[in-house]
Amino acid sequence: MKVGLHAEAPPKPEYGAMCNGCGLCCAVATCPLGIVLFRCRKGPCPALHWQDGRYVCGVLAEPARFAPLLPRRWAARLVARWIAAGQGCDCRHQMESR
Protein backbone atom coordinates (compact mmCIF):
# COMPACT_ATOMS: atom_id res chain seq x y z
CA MET A 1 0.00 0.00 0.00
CA LYS A 2 1.42 3.38 -0.98
CA VAL A 3 0.81 6.27 1.43
CA GLY A 4 1.95 9.85 1.22
CA LEU A 5 3.97 11.04 4.20
CA HIS A 6 6.00 14.18 4.75
CA ALA A 7 9.48 13.88 3.23
CA GLU A 8 11.05 14.83 6.58
CA ALA A 9 9.12 12.22 8.58
CA PRO A 10 11.40 10.03 10.67
CA PRO A 11 11.96 6.43 9.53
CA LYS A 12 9.61 3.83 10.95
CA PRO A 13 10.94 2.30 14.16
CA GLU A 14 11.12 -1.45 14.66
CA TYR A 15 7.91 -3.15 15.78
CA GLY A 16 7.62 -2.71 19.57
CA ALA A 17 10.17 0.12 19.75
CA MET A 18 9.25 3.55 21.07
CA CYS A 19 7.12 5.65 18.71
CA ASN A 20 9.06 8.36 16.91
CA GLY A 21 6.19 10.02 15.04
CA CYS A 22 6.78 8.48 11.62
CA GLY A 23 3.01 8.53 11.00
CA LEU A 24 2.85 5.28 9.05
CA CYS A 25 0.40 3.54 11.39
CA CYS A 26 -2.17 6.34 11.16
CA ALA A 27 -1.59 6.77 7.43
CA VAL A 28 -2.53 3.17 6.63
CA ALA A 29 -5.27 2.52 9.19
CA THR A 30 -7.54 4.33 11.59
CA CYS A 31 -7.34 3.33 15.26
CA PRO A 32 -10.50 2.26 17.14
CA LEU A 33 -10.93 5.80 18.50
CA GLY A 34 -10.65 7.24 15.00
CA ILE A 35 -13.20 4.75 13.70
CA VAL A 36 -15.70 5.99 16.29
CA LEU A 37 -14.91 9.69 15.82
CA PHE A 38 -14.53 9.80 12.04
CA ARG A 39 -16.47 6.72 10.88
CA CYS A 40 -13.68 5.47 8.64
CA ARG A 41 -11.53 2.35 8.87
CA LYS A 42 -8.82 3.03 6.32
CA GLY A 43 -6.17 5.69 6.58
CA PRO A 44 -5.05 8.23 6.52
CA CYS A 45 -6.72 9.15 9.76
CA PRO A 46 -8.29 12.61 9.57
CA ALA A 47 -6.53 13.51 12.83
CA LEU A 48 -3.02 12.67 11.56
CA HIS A 49 -1.19 15.93 12.12
CA TRP A 50 2.34 17.06 11.12
CA GLN A 51 3.91 19.06 13.96
CA ASP A 52 7.50 20.02 14.73
CA GLY A 53 9.10 17.45 12.42
CA ARG A 54 6.95 14.47 13.35
CA TYR A 55 3.41 13.18 13.14
CA VAL A 56 1.14 13.40 16.16
CA CYS A 57 -2.42 12.35 16.90
CA GLY A 58 -4.57 15.44 16.50
CA VAL A 59 -7.11 14.04 18.96
CA LEU A 60 -4.37 13.80 21.58
CA ALA A 61 -2.77 17.16 20.71
CA GLU A 62 -6.04 19.08 20.34
CA PRO A 63 -8.84 17.10 22.01
CA ALA A 64 -11.19 20.11 22.13
CA ARG A 65 -11.03 20.35 18.32
CA PHE A 66 -11.54 16.68 17.48
CA ALA A 67 -13.50 15.38 20.47
CA PRO A 68 -15.20 18.40 22.06
CA LEU A 69 -17.55 16.26 24.14
CA LEU A 70 -14.72 14.74 26.17
CA PRO A 71 -14.27 16.40 29.57
CA ARG A 72 -11.25 18.72 29.21
CA ARG A 73 -9.62 17.60 32.46
CA TRP A 74 -9.47 14.00 31.31
CA ALA A 75 -9.32 14.28 27.53
CA ALA A 76 -5.57 13.91 26.94
CA ARG A 77 -5.28 11.10 29.46
CA LEU A 78 -8.25 9.19 28.04
CA VAL A 79 -7.13 9.64 24.43
CA ALA A 80 -3.57 8.54 25.25
CA ARG A 81 -4.96 5.37 26.78
CA TRP A 82 -7.39 4.71 23.92
CA ILE A 83 -4.67 5.03 21.26
CA ALA A 84 -2.12 3.10 23.36
CA ALA A 85 0.30 6.05 23.42
CA GLY A 86 3.61 5.07 24.96
CA GLN A 87 3.11 1.36 24.30
CA GLY A 88 5.54 1.10 21.39
CA CYS A 89 5.18 0.75 17.65
CA ASP A 90 2.33 -1.59 16.74
CA CYS A 91 2.49 -1.10 12.97
CA ARG A 92 3.61 -4.11 10.96
CA HIS A 93 3.62 -2.18 7.65
CA GLN A 94 6.95 -1.00 6.29
CA MET A 95 7.71 2.33 4.68
CA GLU A 96 8.49 2.25 0.99
CA SER A 97 11.87 3.57 -0.10
CA ARG A 98 11.95 7.30 -0.53
The answer to whether position 46 is within a domain reads: yes
The answer to whether position 93 is within a domain reads: no
Q: Total domain count for the chain?
A: 1
Judge residue 76's burial from the number of C-beta atoms within 10 Å of its C-beta, 0-12 exposed, 13-18 middle, 19 or more buried: middle
Domain that residue 67 falls in: 24-82
Q: Tell me the per-residue pLDDT of 21-80, one tens digit each, with 9 for 90 and over.
A: 999 999 998 888 899 999 988 879 999 999 999 999 999 999 889 989 888 788 888 888
Is the bond into 44 cis (omega within 30 degrees of 0)? yes
The answer to whether position 89 is within a domain reads: no
The answer to whether position 12 is within a domain reads: no
Is the bond into 10 cis (omega within 30 degrees of 0)? no
The answer to whether position 51 is within a domain reads: yes
CA atoms lying within 13 Å on the CB side of residue 70: 20
Q: Tell me the per-residue pLDDT of 67-81, one tens digit each, with 9 for 90 and over.
A: 898 887 888 888 888
The answer to whether position 53 is within a domain reads: yes
